[in-house]
């Protein structure tokens, strides 16, 4: 953790810039899009700092980097969501969740965690369903299924009960849960009713989630360093 901390300093600074400037969402601009995406750009740099060879050799890390790229595009679309680009942002983040799920892998399967996430996802959709109309009725269903699947794969990889967990797997799990909190807050605030301090909740949990998921990509590097020391 200590070795990765300094590489995340630009991310923390960029996040502070976003919250300090707190640009109004009522007047979207390319500058506000840049400020919003800047922390995610810093996470690109964080992963690239481990070396191109590392990313090429480890598919999970390269898929998380690809997910961060799609996330930044999604963030930019959501700046103009009131101008009709909400669905575009939804699509970008759907691709992000597919990439993250692929990065986390399908082993171990952990059907109990899958059942739990299935129940949570179904409950969330059941709550939102009466507020949805038109294409959002099925688009939100597909999105919830994708992020729920991503959460399942993150939880399954942790293996807390088997004493096989690592801090990177734990960060992936917590990151996935925070991502779900962020997206659920967006959905409730947009489709159901205004959520107090919604923007703070959405962005704080979102940035934390992305940072933790990016951190989970360095597990392969940790394993390599351990083997070298051994």
Question: Is residue 229 predicted with pLDDT exceeding 50?
Answer: no
pLDDT at position 5: 86
pLDDT at 9: 95
Question: Can you give the pLDDT at residue 164?
Answer: 65
The reported pLDDT for the residue numbered 4 is: 85
Residue 151 DSSP code: H
Reduced to 3 DSSP states, what percent helix, strand and coil does the chain have, rounded to the nearest 5? 80, 0, 20
pTM score, whole prediction: 0.93
Residue 2, pLDDT above cutoff 90: no
Full residue range of the structural domain in which residue 203 is found:
4-228
Q: What is the mean pLDDT of residues 17-44?
A: 97
In sequence order, which residues have a C-beta less than 8 Å from that of residue 174 and are 6 or more positions away? Answer: 212
Share above pLDDT 70 across residues of the chain, in percent, rounded to a whole number: 92
User: Tokens 């703070």 belong to which residue?
Assistant: 200
DSSP string, 159-222: -GGGT---HHHHHHHHHHHHHHHHHHHHHIIIII-PPTTHHHHHHHHHHHHHHHHHHHTTHHHH
pLDDT given for residue 158 in this prediction:
86
Contact predicate 163/130, CB 8 Å: no
- Which residues make Cβ contacts (< 8 Å) with residue 188, sequence separation at least 6? 128, 195
End-to-end CA distance of the chain, in Å? 19
Which tokens sit at 171?
């960060």
Statement: residue 196 has pLDDT above 90: yes
pLDDT value at position 165?
A: 72
What's the whole-number mean pLDDT along residues 185-189?
98
The pLDDT value given to residue 225: 46
If you average pLDDT over every residue of the chain, what do you get? Answer: 92
**H or E, element range at 64:** helix 59-79
Domain count, the chain: 1
Give ∠ CA 13-14-15 in degrees, rounded to 5: 90
Per-residue model confidence as pLDDT tens digits over 143-172: 999 999 999 999 998 876 665 678 889 999
């Amino acid at each position: 953790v200590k070795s990765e901390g300094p590489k995340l300093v630009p991310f923390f600074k960029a996040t502070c810039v976003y919250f300090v400037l707190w640009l109004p969402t009522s007047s979207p601009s390319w500058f506000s899009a840049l400020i919003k995406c800047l922390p995610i750009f810093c996470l690109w740099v964080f992963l690239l700092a481990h070396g191109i060879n590392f990313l090429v050799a480890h598919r999970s890390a390269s898929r998380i980097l690809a997910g961060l790229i799609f996330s930044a595009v999604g963030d930019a679309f959501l700046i103009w969501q009131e101008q009709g680009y909400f669905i575009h942002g939804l699509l970008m983040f759907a691709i992000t969740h597919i990439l993250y799920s692929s990065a986390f892998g399908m082993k171990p399967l952990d059907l109990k965690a899958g059942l739990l996430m299935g129940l949570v996802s179904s409950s969330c959709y059941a709550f939102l369903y009466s507020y949805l109309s038109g294409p959002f009725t099925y688009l939100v269903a597909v999105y919830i299924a994708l992020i729920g699947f991503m959460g399942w794969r993150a939880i399954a990889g942790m293996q807390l009960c088997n004493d096989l967990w690592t801090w990177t797997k734990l960060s992936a799990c917590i990151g996935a849960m925070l991502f779900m909190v962020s997206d659920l807050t967006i959905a409730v605030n947009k489709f159901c009713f205004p959520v107090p301090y919604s923007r703070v909740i959405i962005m704080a949990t979102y940035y934390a989630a992305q940072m933790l998921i990016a951190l989970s990509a360095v597990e392969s590097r940790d394993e390599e360093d351990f083997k070298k020391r051994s």
